[in-house]
Protein backbone atom coordinates (compact mmCIF):
# COMPACT_ATOMS: atom_id res chain seq x y z
CA UNK A 1 0.00 0.00 0.00
CA UNK A 2 1.35 3.41 -0.95
CA UNK A 3 1.79 5.79 1.96
CA UNK A 4 -0.05 9.16 1.98
CA UNK A 5 3.29 10.96 1.92
CA UNK A 6 4.37 9.11 -1.23
CA UNK A 7 1.02 9.87 -2.88
CA UNK A 8 1.36 13.56 -2.03
CA UNK A 9 4.83 13.74 -3.46
CA UNK A 10 3.70 11.95 -6.62
CA UNK A 11 0.71 14.26 -6.97
CA UNK A 12 2.85 17.35 -6.60
CA UNK A 13 5.23 16.00 -9.20
CA UNK A 14 8.27 16.95 -7.13
CA UNK A 15 11.32 14.70 -7.11
CA UNK A 16 13.77 15.00 -4.24
CA UNK A 17 16.38 13.07 -2.31
CA UNK A 18 17.37 13.14 1.35
CA UNK A 19 20.97 13.49 2.50
CA UNK A 20 21.87 10.36 4.45
CA UNK A 21 24.04 12.29 6.93
CA UNK A 22 22.52 13.21 10.28
CA UNK A 23 21.81 16.99 10.09
CA UNK A 24 23.66 17.50 13.40
CA UNK A 25 26.90 16.75 11.49
CA UNK A 26 26.15 19.39 8.85
CA UNK A 27 26.39 18.16 5.25
CA UNK A 28 28.89 15.97 3.47
CA UNK A 29 29.15 18.64 0.74
CA UNK A 30 28.32 22.34 0.99
CA UNK A 31 25.44 23.41 -1.22
CA UNK A 32 27.62 26.22 -2.54
CA UNK A 33 31.19 24.99 -2.80
CA UNK A 34 33.65 27.86 -2.76
CA UNK A 35 35.94 28.18 -5.75
CA UNK A 36 39.42 26.99 -4.83
CA UNK A 37 42.61 28.86 -5.66
CA UNK A 38 44.56 25.59 -5.75
CA UNK A 39 46.88 24.92 -8.68
CA UNK A 40 45.52 21.86 -10.48
CA UNK A 41 47.09 19.70 -13.21
CA UNK A 42 44.41 17.55 -14.87
CA UNK A 43 46.30 15.38 -17.36
CA UNK A 44 48.16 13.18 -14.85
CA UNK A 45 46.33 9.96 -15.70
CA UNK A 46 44.20 11.04 -18.67
CA UNK A 47 43.98 14.20 -20.78
CA UNK A 48 41.22 16.48 -19.49
CA UNK A 49 39.28 16.02 -22.75
CA UNK A 50 39.24 12.25 -22.18
CA UNK A 51 38.11 12.21 -18.56
CA UNK A 52 35.47 9.59 -17.72
CA UNK A 53 34.43 7.56 -14.65
CA UNK A 54 36.92 4.77 -14.01
CA UNK A 55 35.56 1.39 -12.92
CA UNK A 56 37.19 -0.66 -10.18
CA UNK A 57 39.40 -3.41 -11.56
CA UNK A 58 38.42 -6.80 -10.17
CA UNK A 59 41.97 -8.06 -10.71
CA UNK A 60 43.39 -5.54 -8.21
CA UNK A 61 44.28 -7.42 -5.05
CA UNK A 62 43.50 -5.90 -1.67
CA UNK A 63 46.48 -5.51 0.67
CA UNK A 64 47.17 -8.11 3.35
CA UNK A 65 46.55 -5.51 6.06
CA UNK A 66 44.76 -2.17 6.08
CA UNK A 67 45.61 0.29 8.84
CA UNK A 68 43.15 3.07 9.64
CA UNK A 69 44.64 6.05 11.48
CA UNK A 70 42.58 8.71 13.22
CA UNK A 71 42.90 11.24 16.00
CA UNK A 72 40.47 13.23 18.15
CA UNK A 73 40.91 16.32 20.27
CA UNK A 74 38.92 18.09 22.95
CA UNK A 75 39.40 21.38 24.77
CA UNK A 76 38.82 20.61 28.44
CA UNK A 77 39.04 24.21 29.69
CA UNK A 78 40.16 27.69 28.69
CA UNK A 79 42.66 29.30 31.03
CA UNK A 80 43.95 32.79 31.79
CA UNK A 81 47.52 32.79 33.06
CA UNK A 82 48.44 35.73 35.30
CA UNK A 83 51.55 37.68 34.35
CA UNK A 84 54.23 38.34 36.96
CA UNK A 85 53.73 41.30 39.31
CA UNK A 86 55.06 44.62 38.12
CA UNK A 87 58.43 45.82 39.44
CA UNK A 88 56.83 48.35 41.83
CA UNK A 89 55.16 45.50 43.70
CA UNK A 90 51.64 46.03 42.40
CA UNK A 91 49.84 43.07 40.87
CA UNK A 92 49.80 42.90 37.10
CA UNK A 93 46.40 43.28 35.52
CA UNK A 94 47.10 41.42 32.26
CA UNK A 95 46.69 37.71 31.67
CA UNK A 96 47.60 35.42 28.79
CA UNK A 97 45.08 32.98 27.32
CA UNK A 98 45.62 29.24 27.16
CA UNK A 99 43.71 26.06 26.50
CA UNK A 100 43.94 22.76 28.35
CA UNK A 101 43.25 19.98 25.87
CA UNK A 102 43.11 16.20 25.76
CA UNK A 103 43.92 14.50 22.48
CA UNK A 104 44.52 10.98 21.28
CA UNK A 105 45.41 9.01 18.16
CA UNK A 106 45.20 5.34 17.33
CA UNK A 107 45.32 2.69 14.64
CA UNK A 108 42.82 -0.03 13.79
CA UNK A 109 44.41 -2.86 11.81
CA UNK A 110 42.20 -4.99 9.56
CA UNK A 111 43.51 -8.33 8.33
CA UNK A 112 40.96 -10.39 6.46
CA UNK A 113 37.71 -10.26 8.43
CA UNK A 114 39.36 -9.37 11.75
CA UNK A 115 39.98 -5.90 13.14
CA UNK A 116 41.87 -4.90 16.26
CA UNK A 117 43.18 -1.81 17.97
CA UNK A 118 46.93 -1.92 17.33
CA UNK A 119 48.30 1.32 18.81
CA UNK A 120 47.01 4.29 20.81
CA UNK A 121 48.48 7.34 22.49
CA UNK A 122 46.73 9.86 24.74
CA UNK A 123 48.16 13.24 25.75
CA UNK A 124 47.01 16.23 27.79
CA UNK A 125 48.61 19.61 27.21
CA UNK A 126 48.35 23.28 28.10
CA UNK A 127 48.79 25.41 24.97
CA UNK A 128 49.76 29.04 25.60
CA UNK A 129 52.20 31.74 24.54
CA UNK A 130 52.79 32.84 28.14
CA UNK A 131 56.44 32.63 29.20
CA UNK A 132 55.26 32.13 32.78
CA UNK A 133 53.29 28.96 32.06
CA UNK A 134 54.08 25.68 33.78
CA UNK A 135 52.61 22.17 33.74
CA UNK A 136 49.17 21.96 35.32
CA UNK A 137 48.88 19.15 37.86
CA UNK A 138 45.43 17.84 38.76
CA UNK A 139 44.17 14.72 40.53
CA UNK A 140 42.83 13.55 37.13
CA UNK A 141 46.09 13.97 35.22
CA UNK A 142 48.85 16.38 34.25
CA UNK A 143 48.68 18.88 31.40
CA UNK A 144 52.18 19.40 29.96
CA UNK A 145 52.84 22.95 28.81
CA UNK A 146 53.28 23.48 25.07
CA UNK A 147 54.52 26.99 24.32
CA UNK A 148 53.25 28.64 21.14
CA UNK A 149 54.75 31.57 19.27
CA UNK A 150 51.48 33.49 19.46
CA UNK A 151 48.02 33.38 21.01
CA UNK A 152 46.38 35.46 18.27
CA UNK A 153 43.35 34.14 16.41
CA UNK A 154 43.49 30.39 15.87
CA UNK A 155 47.11 29.99 17.01
CA UNK A 156 46.28 27.84 20.02
CA UNK A 157 43.86 25.44 18.22
CA UNK A 158 46.36 25.14 15.35
CA UNK A 159 49.12 24.22 17.81
CA UNK A 160 46.82 21.55 19.22
CA UNK A 161 46.13 20.23 15.73
CA UNK A 162 49.87 20.04 14.97
CA UNK A 163 50.48 18.01 18.12
CA UNK A 164 47.62 15.70 17.19
CA UNK A 165 49.16 15.22 13.74
CA UNK A 166 52.47 14.27 15.35
CA UNK A 167 50.99 11.52 17.47
CA UNK A 168 49.03 10.21 14.49
CA UNK A 169 52.38 9.69 12.77
CA UNK A 170 53.83 8.14 15.93
CA UNK A 171 51.01 5.62 16.27
CA UNK A 172 51.10 4.76 12.56
CA UNK A 173 54.83 3.99 12.72
CA UNK A 174 54.34 1.97 15.92
CA UNK A 175 51.51 -0.04 14.37
CA UNK A 176 53.58 -0.91 11.32
CA UNK A 177 56.50 -1.94 13.52
CA UNK A 178 54.19 -4.22 15.53
CA UNK A 179 52.91 -5.85 12.35
CA UNK A 180 56.45 -6.39 11.09
CA UNK A 181 57.41 -8.03 14.39
CA UNK A 182 54.37 -10.30 14.02
CA UNK A 183 55.58 -11.44 10.60
CA UNK A 184 53.05 -9.51 8.47
CA UNK A 185 54.67 -8.49 5.13
CA UNK A 186 55.88 -4.89 5.44
CA UNK A 187 55.35 -4.01 1.77
CA UNK A 188 51.79 -5.29 1.51
CA UNK A 189 49.72 -2.92 3.61
CA UNK A 190 47.74 0.26 3.08
CA UNK A 191 47.69 3.15 5.54
CA UNK A 192 44.42 5.12 5.51
CA UNK A 193 44.63 8.53 7.23
CA UNK A 194 41.24 9.95 8.21
CA UNK A 195 41.56 13.47 6.85
CA UNK A 196 44.04 15.26 4.59
CA UNK A 197 47.46 13.68 4.16
CA UNK A 198 49.29 16.90 4.96
CA UNK A 199 52.24 16.29 7.29
CA UNK A 200 51.95 12.54 6.76
CA UNK A 201 52.76 12.32 3.03
CA UNK A 202 56.22 10.93 3.80
CA UNK A 203 54.68 7.72 5.17
CA UNK A 204 54.91 4.89 2.62
CA UNK A 205 51.75 3.38 1.08
CA UNK A 206 49.58 6.06 2.69
CA UNK A 207 46.41 7.76 1.48
CA UNK A 208 44.37 10.60 2.95
CA UNK A 209 40.60 10.09 3.20
CA UNK A 210 38.45 13.26 3.13
CA UNK A 211 34.78 12.69 3.97
CA UNK A 212 33.29 16.16 3.44
CA UNK A 213 33.74 18.86 0.81
CA UNK A 214 33.95 22.64 1.13
CA UNK A 215 35.73 23.71 -2.08
CA UNK A 216 35.45 23.08 -5.81
CA UNK A 217 38.87 22.10 -7.17
CA UNK A 218 37.91 21.12 -10.74
CA UNK A 219 36.59 23.28 -13.60
CA UNK A 220 32.80 23.05 -14.18
CA UNK A 221 32.94 20.46 -16.97
CA UNK A 222 35.07 18.07 -14.89
CA UNK A 223 33.40 18.91 -11.58
CA UNK A 224 30.02 17.89 -13.05
CA UNK A 225 31.37 14.42 -13.75
CA UNK A 226 31.81 13.72 -10.02
CA UNK A 227 28.04 13.53 -9.53
CA UNK A 228 27.77 10.92 -12.30
CA UNK A 229 30.12 8.43 -10.63
CA UNK A 230 28.58 5.06 -9.84
CA UNK A 231 29.34 3.08 -6.67
CA UNK A 232 33.00 2.07 -6.71
CA UNK A 233 33.89 4.39 -9.59
CA UNK A 234 36.47 7.15 -9.35
CA UNK A 235 37.66 10.15 -11.34
CA UNK A 236 41.06 10.15 -13.01
CA UNK A 237 43.93 11.37 -10.84
CA UNK A 238 44.82 15.06 -10.80
CA UNK A 239 47.69 16.92 -9.16
CA UNK A 240 46.64 19.60 -6.68
CA UNK A 241 48.80 22.25 -5.07
CA UNK A 242 47.97 24.73 -2.31
CA UNK A 243 50.49 25.24 0.50
CA UNK A 244 51.47 21.64 -0.25
CA UNK A 245 51.17 19.31 -3.24
CA UNK A 246 49.39 15.96 -3.58
CA UNK A 247 47.77 13.63 -6.07
CA UNK A 248 43.98 13.43 -5.60
CA UNK A 249 40.90 11.73 -6.99
CA UNK A 250 37.19 11.47 -6.15
CA UNK A 251 35.57 8.13 -5.36
CA UNK A 252 31.94 7.15 -4.73
CA UNK A 253 31.47 4.59 -1.99
CA UNK A 254 28.61 2.07 -2.21
CA UNK A 255 25.35 3.69 -1.07
CA UNK A 256 21.68 3.86 -1.91
CA UNK A 257 20.14 6.51 -4.17
CA UNK A 258 20.39 9.97 -2.67
CA UNK A 259 21.89 13.40 -3.11
CA UNK A 260 24.15 13.96 -6.14
CA UNK A 261 27.28 13.74 -3.98
CA UNK A 262 26.06 10.94 -1.70
CA UNK A 263 28.97 8.69 -0.82
CA UNK A 264 31.56 10.89 -2.54
CA UNK A 265 34.98 11.11 -0.88
CA UNK A 266 38.24 12.69 -1.96
CA UNK A 267 41.37 10.58 -1.66
CA UNK A 268 44.96 11.84 -1.64
CA UNK A 269 48.46 10.43 -1.96
CA UNK A 270 51.91 11.97 -2.05
CA UNK A 271 52.82 14.19 -4.99
CA UNK A 272 56.34 12.71 -4.85
CA UNK A 273 55.09 9.31 -6.04
CA UNK A 274 55.64 8.38 -9.70
CA UNK A 275 52.40 8.50 -11.69
CA UNK A 276 52.30 4.70 -12.01
CA UNK A 277 52.41 4.25 -8.23
CA UNK A 278 49.79 6.97 -7.67
CA UNK A 279 47.46 5.22 -10.15
CA UNK A 280 48.10 1.89 -8.41
CA UNK A 281 47.07 3.45 -5.08
CA UNK A 282 43.96 4.97 -6.67
CA UNK A 283 42.97 1.56 -8.08
CA UNK A 284 43.65 -0.08 -4.73
CA UNK A 285 41.52 2.53 -2.94
CA UNK A 286 38.52 1.45 -5.03
CA UNK A 287 38.77 -2.23 -4.12
CA UNK A 288 39.74 -1.59 -0.50
CA UNK A 289 37.77 1.38 0.85
CA UNK A 290 34.45 0.22 -0.56
CA UNK A 291 34.68 -2.91 1.61
CA UNK A 292 34.51 -0.79 4.76
CA UNK A 293 31.75 1.66 3.77
CA UNK A 294 29.19 2.03 6.56
CA UNK A 295 25.43 1.71 6.20
CA UNK A 296 22.75 4.21 7.24
CA UNK A 297 21.15 2.19 10.01
CA UNK A 298 24.52 1.72 11.75
CA UNK A 299 26.21 5.10 11.25
CA UNK A 300 24.81 8.63 10.99
CA UNK A 301 27.56 9.62 8.53
CA UNK A 302 27.21 6.64 6.19
CA UNK A 303 28.78 5.60 3.97
CA UNK A 304 31.77 7.95 4.34
CA UNK A 305 32.43 7.19 8.00
CA UNK A 306 34.09 3.84 7.38
CA UNK A 307 33.40 1.14 9.97
CA UNK A 308 36.99 0.93 11.28
CA UNK A 309 37.21 4.72 11.62
CA UNK A 310 33.89 4.89 13.48
CA UNK A 311 35.02 2.15 15.85
CA UNK A 312 38.37 3.87 16.41
CA UNK A 313 36.68 7.18 17.21
CA UNK A 314 34.60 5.49 19.92
CA UNK A 315 37.66 3.83 21.43
CA UNK A 316 39.60 7.10 21.50
CA UNK A 317 36.75 9.08 23.07
CA UNK A 318 36.65 6.62 25.95
CA UNK A 319 40.38 7.03 26.45
CA UNK A 320 40.13 10.82 26.68
CA UNK A 321 38.28 10.49 29.97
CA UNK A 322 35.18 12.19 31.31
CA UNK A 323 35.15 15.90 30.33
CA UNK A 324 33.16 16.98 33.38
CA UNK A 325 35.59 15.23 35.73
CA UNK A 326 38.60 16.83 34.04
CA UNK A 327 36.98 20.27 34.10
CA UNK A 328 36.27 19.97 37.83
CA UNK A 329 39.86 18.81 38.41
CA UNK A 330 41.20 21.87 36.59
CA UNK A 331 38.91 24.21 38.57
CA UNK A 332 40.11 22.60 41.80
CA UNK A 333 43.78 22.92 40.78
CA UNK A 334 43.25 26.60 39.90
CA UNK A 335 41.84 27.27 43.37
CA UNK A 336 44.90 25.90 45.20
- Tens digit of pLDDT for each residue in 88-131? 555 555 889 999 999 999 999 999 889 999 999 999 999 999 99
Query: Is 276 a residue whose pLDDT tops 80?
Result: yes
What are the Cα distances from residue 255, in Å, to 91, 195, 258, 312? 63, 21, 8, 22
Q: Rounded to whole angstroms, how far apart are CA atoms 69 and 219?
A: 31
Q: Which pLDDT score, from 0 to 100, does residue 31 have?
A: 53
pLDDT of residue 139: 95
Each residue of 179-227: pLDDT tens digit?
888 888 778 899 999 999 999 999 999 999 999 888 889 999 999 999 9
What local confidence, expressed as pLDDT, does residue 10 receive? 42
Whether the predicted pLDDT of 320 surpasses 70? yes
Per-residue pLDDT at 153 = 87
> Span 317-321, mean pLDDT?
96
Query: What are the residue boundaries of the structural domains of the chain, listed by start?
Result: 19-63+188-305
Could you tell me where the DSSP H helices lie in the chain?
Answer: 4-12, 155-181, 220-226, 275-289, 307-320, 323-335
- The pLDDT of residue 93: 55
Mean pLDDT over each residue of the chain, to the nearest integer: 88
Letter string b/e over residues 42-71, b meaning 16 or more CB atoms within 10 A of that residue's CB: bebbeeeeebebbebeeeeeebebbbbbbb
CB atoms within 10 A of CB 235: 28
Q: What is the mean pLDDT of residues 297-303?
A: 85
12 vs 243, more confident: 243
Confidence check: pLDDT of 17 > 90: no
Tell me the per-residue pLDDT of 35-83, one tens digit each, with 9 for 90 and over: 777 899 999 999 999 999 999 987 787 899 999 999 999 999 999 998 7
What's the pLDDT band for 1 if we cut at 50, 70, 90? very low
pLDDT for position 257: 73
Amino acid 58: pLDDT: 76
pLDDT, position 246:
96
Q: Are 67 and 190 in contact (CB under 8 A)?
A: yes
Average pLDDT over residues 163-175: 96
pLDDT value, residue 11: 45
199 φ/ψ sector (left φ>0, alpha ψ -120 to 50, else beta):
left
Amino acid sequence: MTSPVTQLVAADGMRFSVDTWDPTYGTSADTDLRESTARVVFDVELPAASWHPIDAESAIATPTSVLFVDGIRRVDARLWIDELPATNGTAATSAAPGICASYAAGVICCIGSSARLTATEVRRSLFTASAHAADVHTHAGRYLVQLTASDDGDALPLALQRQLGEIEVTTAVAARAALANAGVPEDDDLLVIDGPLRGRQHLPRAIGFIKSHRAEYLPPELHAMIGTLGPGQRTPIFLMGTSWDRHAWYLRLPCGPGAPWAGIVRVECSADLPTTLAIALANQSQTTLCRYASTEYKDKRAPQNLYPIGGLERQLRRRLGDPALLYRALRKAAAL
